[in-house]
A and B are shown apart, each in its own frame.
Chain A
Amino acid sequence: MEILEAIIAVWAARWPILDGIGNTLLISGVAIALGTMLGLGVGLLLTYGNLGVRLFVRIYSDFLRGTPVFVLILACFYILSVIGIDLSAFEAGIFALTLFCSSHVGEIVRGALQAIPRGQTEAAKSIGLTFSQTFFSVLFPQALRQILPTWVNTATEIVKASTLLSIIGVVELLLSVQQVISRAYLSMELYFFAGFVYFLINFAIEKTGRYVERKVAIPS
């Protein structure tokens, strides 16, 4: 183990590595934000859409969840350029992660909405609320409590999946560390370092999630 040399190598490459961390956070952040918005739509359509819509969205969601993220990223990267949509590897990667995120968030939202007892909707109807009033002031707040913990899990999944963009040449954290490895030949120390940084990012997300979960829990 040459820990000192590894520290020197990381320090010498601190700016590229910080850039990589920035890219990882940017990619994950954008993918999670867009994916969550899209996923809310997917979840709503899966729950309240008519049969045709439900079938269509179900195929979309099952297709995305049945395909490994890695295949999804490669497919988006290669296919989009062939059909004339000119995206950089960076954008294609974000696109793939967004699709991946949307299908997972969609399932979470659907599960949470369906878990709410029917009586809630019936009660809201009987006091004369419209559907949108029912949804926004009765159903959604209750669903949100169920959604949050699993949603945080999805967020860490996205951060982890963003490492796969290194394979299509996006310089995020993993690739920036690999570039240092190819100069310094300290694979063990530096892969360990990369893993540790990812651990810190995900650990922070998880802890924040737990905190939010406690905050929004119904006091018992």
Chain B
Amino acid sequence: MDYNFNFAAVWRDFDLLMAGLGLGIFLAIISIAIGCVIGLLAAFGMLSKNRAIRVLSSAYVSAIRNTPILVLILFTFFALPQLGIRLGKIESFIATLSIYSGAYLTEVFRAGLIALPIGLREAGLTIGLTELRTKLFITIPVMFRNVLPSLSNNFISLFKDTSLAAAIAVPELTFYARKINVETFRVIETWIVVSLMYVAACYVIAAILRRVESRLAIPR
């Protein structure tokens, strides 16, 4: 194998790659925040007494979970304008990723809500809180602290999914990687650097989230 490694071409554009990485993390944070709201609503929907709401919520979850995310991204970006819904590429990607993560978080929250002891809700109602306030101030916060580990796993896989934004030309890490790849032909160097950046980012995010988890975990 006679391949001369030359990382200079990649280092020259390293700030572009870092900007791309930053955008990826930003997209993941916004999407998981919106996804949490969707997930909470759908999780309560799945546990609702109303049959129609239950069916609707579980249809949402299984439809999104069984469809490839690339199809969802392309659908939102290329197909929705046909209905007059025209979104910019970043907005469209955030919308897709939020709806996508919402479906996975629904399962997480549903499991978390089921695992809560029934006494929590009863205690809330007994001291005179309304049903909504019991949820907002007692059950949801406790459930949140319990499901944090699954929440952070979801965040990491969401961050990796931001690489697909390159398919609709959102300028994040993978987009710049492909750009550098075709402009400089430093193929091996580009992809090694970019993969390592993703791996390193995942490690750092995971380490930070572990700290947050142990800080917020309910002491036993």
Contacts and interface: CB of A to CB of B under 8 A. Distances in A.
Interface string B185-205: 001100110110011101100
For chain B, the bracket of interface size reads: 35 or more
Interface stretch (B42-50, B63-71, B87-95, B127-135): B63-71
Contacts of A164: 70, 164
Contacts of B82: 187-188
Given A74-B177, A79-B188, A188-B83, A67 B166 contact: no
Contacts of B26: none
A202 interface: yes
Interface string B37-66: 000000000000000000000000011011
For chain A, the bracket of interface size reads: 35 or more
A83 B163 contact: no
Residue among A67, A188, A194 with the most chain B CB within 10 A? Answer: A67
B195 A63 contact: yes
Contacts of A198: 66-68, 71
Contacts of B71: 163, 174, 191, 194-195, 198
B181 interface: yes
B119 to A, nearest CB: 27
B121 to A, nearest CB: 29
A70 B174 contact: yes
Interface stretch (B73-81, B109-117, B139-147): B73-81
A11 interface: no
A188 B79 contact: yes
A213 interface: no
B195 to A, nearest CB: 5
B163 A71 contact: yes
B66 A66 contact: no
Contacts of A82: 3, 187-188
A63 B191 contact: no
A192 B63 CA distance: 11
A71 B177 CA distance: 9
A75 B191 contact: yes
B72 interface: yes
A161 B72 CA distance: 13
B104 to A, nearest CB: 11
Interface in A194-220: 194-195, 198-199, 202-203, 206
B74 A79 contact: no
B199 A74 contact: no
A30 interface: no
B195 A67 contact: yes
B194 A195 contact: no
Residue among B68, B74, B162, B200 with the most chain A CB within 10 A? Answer: B68
A204 to B, nearest CB: 10
B62 A74 contact: no
| A-B interface, 3 closest residue pairs, ranked by CB to CB distance from nearest | A66-B199, A188-B79, A68-B163
29 contacts: A62-B199, A66-B160, A66-B195, A66-B198, A66-B199, A67-B160, A68-B160, A70-B163, A71-B191, A71-B195, A74-B191, A75-B192, A75-B194, A78-B181, A82-B187, A83-B1, A83-B188, A160-B67, A163-B70, A164-B70, A181-B78, A191-B74, A191-B75, A194-B71, A195-B72, A198-B66, A198-B67, A199-B63, A206-B66
Interface of A: 62-63, 65-72, 74-75, 78-79, 82-84, 156, 159-164, 166-167, 174, 178, 181, 187-188, 191-192, 194-195, 198-199, 202-203, 206
